[in-house]
Structure 1
């Protein structure tokens, strides 16, 4: 989606006032609709209600609901309280709350606040209605105008002022497409949003972008991208067509956390260019996770520093820019299911290649994009059937629960208590998973052979084979994280060294892994750095 901006020039002051009044009513409908959505109103009943209350057509009312629902879903994705949204901007609102602010500066802030809160109008595009029913571009005596519907069978025409800024300005292509559609009748949809800034009305036009044919495909392998919040960076893994790791690289994103909105956009584009340039150099397609929603913590969870980082985690913005830029350069982009990529990576590939868990997670993403299935290694399968090890792991988890209880009892700080409670809850969950697996093992239950799929393109004959494998990885994580990986003094907070698992993965010797007092020198080092 490309967004272009142009200035609107009205033929009279009366026309301008009609449009500003419509923008004010639409903005009010959007705010009112947002509150009704929080109360659970349906879209159909709210559309008719908004049209009657704010005297707008049903198309405008539906678009106001669309804008309100997008704000609501965005707020929930970021883990914020939707009841505390401030239309017009929280920053401006907090500045206006300051009592000592007065004079011209306060008047300027009040004008800016009013424009952002009341100066909005939006209309979705529609191919069957000449591109857009309410805000439509038309040609009058060879000049481009925007026809604005201000009532039933009543329109205001505003001249479009937008000089081409450079030779490859996308506005030139948009105007040419309008010319062609006007001649042939083959219209294309375009969304238009009006914004009031500094007393002037601007139109923001959004259109679908046409991409060139794909020239870089999966046949030469993939460059897998994994976004990580702590530390905030991109992990890139170059994967060959046969699923092996060729090289890896890390791109830090910490500058994005401290930058303002405009600078953050610029830096995100720079990161996208780095990733796509590397993919073009290696002739690799790009693989990434199909992320819909990432938990960003909640107030009072005991992890304020991590939560603050997650709240500013612009993972979607970075991935979207990489995808758009890749398609512009003919690079294929594959999105995969993110389920258990990190767990599989850190237990299967981090000890095998002596890389950190983020690079290992990126490797799993790349292999999944290439169509490889991740099976539990034979040594791990034997480990999950070793009753002696499982009893040892249970004892270690029970000891950790006791230790966390003692810490909780002796902690006086309320915020630290919440963090300890979160760890205690997670450990109890792992303990429950491991106990259930041990009971199943002792009762003689095992993975039935008939759960194997009869055909790779069909569902399993009975049971859920994929569900069994996911459960096995979950049990493995519970059995190894605390009993093996957290035993050493160098582990503080998140486990990042998975080298102790190498002897388990290769030799199946869990006793040697448990006894090992220090990490392997150079653990987590690169196999081969990408230039």
Structure 2
């Protein structure tokens, strides 16, 4: 079972937050680039090789950007039959209304009959155009246009209801890193617990600040953890000692966990996602060794 826990970055360090904003902007640009290249038929492996050169991301971020793009395309394709069914139901309902008004079984309440029928026919025309578009996508294995940042926000921008900066902010508000058991739970974004200060932190690999020949620096932010989930989250990210090495060092086994950071209204939210094992109910029966006389009676 997939479990999601949400935390919040609480940091007054504006410099580091600006670095995080820039990393999120670049990651989202890479995701959009990957999305469009995949739609063009480019190979995912080739895109992963190209992204670090163009966007200065490490390979893991590149893989995650492509993964998100692939997931979005798959989701849109899975949604197509549902959207088509919904449009066809609306067409049927609209045609029924037109028939009822034309044959006098219903009368308009707020407008005259010609105006009412004109509006319904106009709606029917739009719905049939949408139906044809969705059928075309289904037949050709394509998907409708995707607007990163949201369709409603796009139209708000066109009408001048939000600024260009606000629009850009909506298109660059995500950072994502898959879990990896062999990389202390997560390679690029790690959640840490300091048992001396009793505080939790998020550490984010920032390849944009990497100097040649050195490891990428890490942005570090304190996070606010909901009290009721604190123990659970610490158990997930801290790992468990499973043995001792030949040199006497503890061997720690980590649980893989995915982290997604989203910025909303100037606040930064950290989503921890991990797989929680769910065990089925078992009926246990006590067994004991039979006495010799019982063995004879049961034979």
Same fold (TM over 0.5): yes
Instruction: Name the CA distance, whole Å, in 2 between partners of 1:172 and 1:115.
Output: 34
Question: Offset at 1:83?
Answer: 4.9
Instruction: Give runs of aligned pairs for residues 375-524 of structure 1, distance below 5 A.
Output: none
The structure-2 alpha-carbon separation of the partners of 1:66 and 1:120, relative to structure 1 and needing over 3 Å to count, comes to same
What residue number does 2:289 align with? none
> Contact conserved, 2:192 with 2:238, CA < 8 A, in 1?
no
Question: Offset at 1:112?
Answer: 5.2
What residue number does 2:154 align with? 93
Instruction: Name the CA distance, whole Å, in 2 between partners of 1:179 and 1:88.
Output: 35
Q: Which runs of 5+ in 1 are unaligned?
A: 217-531
What residue number does 1:132 align with? 186
What residue number does 1:211 align with? 278
Instruction: Give runs of aligned pairs for residues 146-225 of structure 1, distance below 5 A.
Output: 146-151=202-207, 152=210, 153=215, 154-164=217-227, 169-181=228-240, 185-214=252-281
Instruction: Give runs of aligned pairs for residues 234-313 of structure 1, distance below 5 A.
Output: none
Instruction: Name the CA distance, whole Å, in 2 between partners of 1:70 and 1:177.
Output: 25
1:230-273 Cα shifts (integer Å, max 9, x gaps): xxxxxxxxxxxxxxxxxxxxxxxxxxxxxxxxxxxxxxxxxxxx
> Contact conserved, 2:200 with 2:225, CA < 8 A, in 1?
no
The structure-2 alpha-carbon separation of the partners of 1:130 and 1:180, relative to structure 1 and needing over 3 Å to count, comes to closer
Query: The residue matched to 1:84 in structure 2 has which SS?
Result: coil
* Structure 1 outlier segments of 4+, above 4 Å: none
> Contact conserved, 1:112 with 1:197, CA < 8 A, in 2?
no
> Contact conserved, 1:11 with 1:158, CA < 8 A, in 2?
no
The structure-2 alpha-carbon separation of the partners of 1:89 and 1:67, relative to structure 1 and needing over 3 Å to count, comes to same
The structure-2 alpha-carbon separation of the partners of 1:2 and 1:111, relative to structure 1 and needing over 3 Å to count, comes to farther
What residue number does 1:5 align with? 6
Normalising by structure 2, what TM-score?
Answer: 0.63
What residue number does 1:84 align with? 145
1:117 maps to which of 147, 160, 171 = 171
Q: Which runs of 5+ in 2 are unaligned?
A: 81-133, 138-142, 242-249, 284-299
The structure-2 alpha-carbon separation of the partners of 1:51 and 1:69, relative to structure 1 and needing over 3 Å to count, comes to same
> Contact conserved, 2:193 with 2:234, CA < 8 A, in 1?
no
Between Structure 1 and Structure 2, how many residues are aligned?
205
Question: Offset at 1:171?
Answer: 4.6
Query: The residue matched to 1:207 in structure 2 has which SS?
Result: strand
Question: Offset at 1:130?
Answer: 0.2
Instruction: Give runs of aligned pairs for residues 342-361 of structure 1, distance below 5 A.
Output: none
Question: Offset at 1:180?
Answer: 4.8
Instruction: Name the CA distance, whole Å, in 2 between partners of 1:112 and 1:172.
Output: 37
The structure-2 alpha-carbon separation of the partners of 1:49 and 1:171, relative to structure 1 and needing over 3 Å to count, comes to same
Normalising by structure 1, what TM-score?
Answer: 0.36
Instruction: Name the CA distance, whole Å, in 2 between partners of 1:111 and 1:172.
Output: 39
Query: The residue matched to 2:206 in structure 1 has which SS?
Result: strand
1:54-106 Cα shifts (integer Å, max 9, x gaps): 111011011000000000011111116525011111121123323xx55xxx3
Question: Offset at 1:135?
Answer: 0.1
> Contact conserved, 1:11 with 1:157, CA < 8 A, in 2?
no
1:103-150 Cα shifts (integer Å, max 9, x gaps): xxx34xx66543331111110000000000000112344321111000
Instruction: Name the CA distance, whole Å, in 2 between partners of 1:20 and 1:191.
Output: 20
> Contact conserved, 2:238 with 2:254, CA < 8 A, in 1?
no
Query: The residue matched to 1:78 in structure 2 has which SS?
Result: helix
1:375-421 Cα shifts (integer Å, max 9, x gaps): xxxxxxxxxxxxxxxxxxxxxxxxxxxxxxxxxxxxxxxxxxxxxxx
Bigger strand fraction: 2
Q: Cα RMSD between the aligned structures? A: 2.2
Question: Offset at 1:181?
Answer: 3.3
Instruction: Name the CA distance, whole Å, in 1 between partners of 2:230 and 2:4.
Output: 10
What residue number does 1:507 align with? none
Query: The residue matched to 1:211 in structure 2 has which SS?
Result: coil
